[in-house]
Amino acid sequence: MKLATINKVYLIGIGGIGMSGLARWFKHRGCVVAGYDRTETPLTTELVSEGIDVTYVDEVSAIISPFNGSDVYSDTLIIFTPAIPKDSQIFNFFKNVGYDLQKRSQVLGIISEGSFCIAVAGTHGKTTTSTIIAHVLKDSGYDCSAFLGGISSNYNTNLLLGENNVMVVEADEFDRSFLTLHPDIAVVTSMDADHLDIYGDASHLHESFNFFAAQLSSDGLLIHKKDLPLTRKGVSYAVNNTSADICAENIRIEDGNYYYDYVSSDLIIKDLCLGLPGLHNVENSVAAVRVALELKIDEEKIRKALASFRGVKRRFEYIIKSDSLIYIDDYAHHPEELNACLNSVRQLYPDKKITVVFQPHLYTRTRDFATGFAESLSKADELIMLDIYPARELPIEGVNSQMILDMVTISNKKLSSKSDLVNLINKRETEVLVTVGAGDIDTLVEPLRVKLS
């Protein structure tokens, strides 16, 4: 596939965060872009406003012209996400007509060829870390393009376009997608067991991450969290761990902001201020600082960029922040992500009651990590569980939200439907509210904000 010859692009699953970034990139290049997704969301509404046609009906008759004919055009690219069911009518139409369908990851690999690629991988932390890196490069004037796995609050988009040949890419381990990339700088934030429906066990996940690290250019730089089971030698980072090659020390909270010193064997940058709460985000920013230093970005420009970083939508995002109520929304959908989120909330608001609303994501993930979820959620003062968001999966007998709730050790806990949640929260004395999950719990954020404001 030669990108220069592509004039029309159809994306099956266009509403996904990675797919929508590709849609925007091809639209910027002047291509005719359209796609399908099963539900309308604020993101698909934005795509439509940008001149991209989106259909929400999985029927061949819903495919808009010029993509709905039976002729196969060499200038037309069909991109699909692995989350699309294999019985999708639209997917099978393009497949049966004879188009060469490309996965999102394959296209991203082709786009990044020939660029100086900075790829950020990890079972959690990769979206925030890649967005911090992209912001530091943009804010400092170094510049870059970036395909991000979330909506940057600084730029209100998941796609950044730059004038140079540097590209920041979030490298997704799902379905081994990141193996299409050949980075010059690779960051690995975490390798906790996840996607076991794909990998089977943690050892195969670790194997895939090692394959990813091995695809670095021969003189490339690997930056990784301390103590990850990687075979390639790299620069390790951590918080409050002087055995790491680089670390954050003297971490403190002042007026809700985190301050720390960046420390390595040959450099100390004191009193960095991160414009995003959370000890886990301090750790993410340490990796970003190391990337910036590798690119020889001035220390004071790095300092300014970190302080002005406003985060990523749905990553520890403040929805309400007043004297009477704190409301935070977060994408956490793995026990370790929940731990990081709730530990940060407790650190920031040690004397307040914390109410958590959690929507599990995937039946397989719920089955595999039910005990871990229960341990993490037991850190709340009050817990409300929603039903499992199935995404691409069919139900598994005996796997439900109740199985987590039964193991949670706090007494103030209950199940709720999505339709009842807003009124249920409104009737309670809430001091700190945290909604967490990777499904469609985000559709409740605005109704909750309106009701509680």
Mean pLDDT over residues 247-264, rounded?
Answer: 92
Residue range 138-153: average pLDDT?
Answer: 96
pTM, two decimal places: 0.83
Of 206 and 284, more confident? 284
Count other C-beta atoms under 10 Å from residue 318's C-beta. 12
What share of the chain has pLDDT > 90, as a percent? 71
Q: Which tokens belong to 399?
A: 């796997």
What is the dotted CATH code of the domain comprising 114-308?
3.40.1190.10
DSSP secondary structure of 365-431 = HHHHHHHHHHHHHTTSSEEEEPPPB-TT----TT-SHHHHHTT---SSEEE--HHHHHHHHHTS--S
Burial 162-193, CB ≥16 within 10 A → b, else e? beeebbbbbbbbbbbbbbbbbbbbbbbbbbbb
Instruction: Assign 293 a pLDDT band (cuts: 50, 70, 90).
Output: very high
Cα distances from 54 to residues 92, 134, 149, in angstroms, run 18, 28, 20
Q: How far apart are CA 251 and CA 262, in angstroms?
A: 10
**Positive or negative torsion for Cα 188, 191, 196, 200:** positive
Per-residue confidence at 255, pLDDT binned at 50, 70, 90?
Answer: confident
- The answer for residues whose C-beta is within 8 angstroms of residue 338's C-beta and 6 or more apart is 332, 358, 373, 376, 377, 436
User: Distance between CA 148 and CA 158 in Å, rounded?
Assistant: 5
* Average pLDDT along the chain: 92
Share of the chain above pLDDT 70, in %: 97
Place 162 in a pLDDT band, splitting at 50, 70 and 90: very high
Average pLDDT over residues 225-250: 94
Mention every residue, 6+ apart, whose C-beta is less than 8 A from residue 41: 15, 443
The four Cα atoms 423, 370, 443, 155 give a dihedral, to 10 degrees, of 130
Contact at 8 Å (CB) between 430 and 355?
A: yes
Reported as a single tens digit per residue, the pLDDT across 311-339 is 998 888 999 999 899 999 998 888 988 99
Higher pLDDT, 275 or 405: 405
Which one has a higher pLDDT value, 450 or 100? 450
Task: Let me know: does 155 contact 165? Beta carbons within 8 Å.
Answer: no
Read off the amino acid at residue 209.
F
pLDDT confidence of residue 393: 83
Q: Decide if pLDDT at 298 tops 90.
A: yes
194: confidence class by pLDDT, cuts 50, 70, 90: low
User: 350 pLDDT exceeds 70?
Assistant: yes
Residues facing 312 on adjacent strands = 152, 315
Contact call for residues 145 and 127 (beta carbons, < 8 A) = no
Average pLDDT over residues 340-366: 93
Q: Taking residues 284-300, what's their average pLDDT?
A: 98
DSSP assignment letter at 186: E
CATH of domain 3-102: 3.40.50.720
Say if residue 136's pLDDT is above 70. yes
How wide is the angle at C-alpha 390 spanned by C-alphas 388 and 391, nearest 5°? Answer: 135
Q: Is 106 exposed, middle or buried (0-12, 13-18, 19+ CB in 10 A)?
A: middle
The Cα 29–Cα 143 span in angstroms is: 19
The segment(s) of the chain belonging to CATH 3.90.190.20 are 317-452
SS3 153: coil
The percent of the chain in helix, strand and coil, each rounded to the nearest 5, is 35, 25, 40
Q: Per-residue DSSP letters for 211-263?
A: HHHHTS-TT-EEEEETT----S--EEEEES-TTSSEEEEEEEEETTEEEEEEE
Architecture of domain 317-452 in this structure: Alpha-Beta Complex (3.90)
- Whether the predicted pLDDT of 63 surpasses 70: yes
Using one digit for the tens of pLDDT, what is the confidence trace for 403-430? 999 999 999 999 999 999 999 999 888 9
Q: Give the Cα separation of 266 and 439 in Å (integer).
A: 44
pLDDT in tens, 106-123: 899 999 988 999 999 998
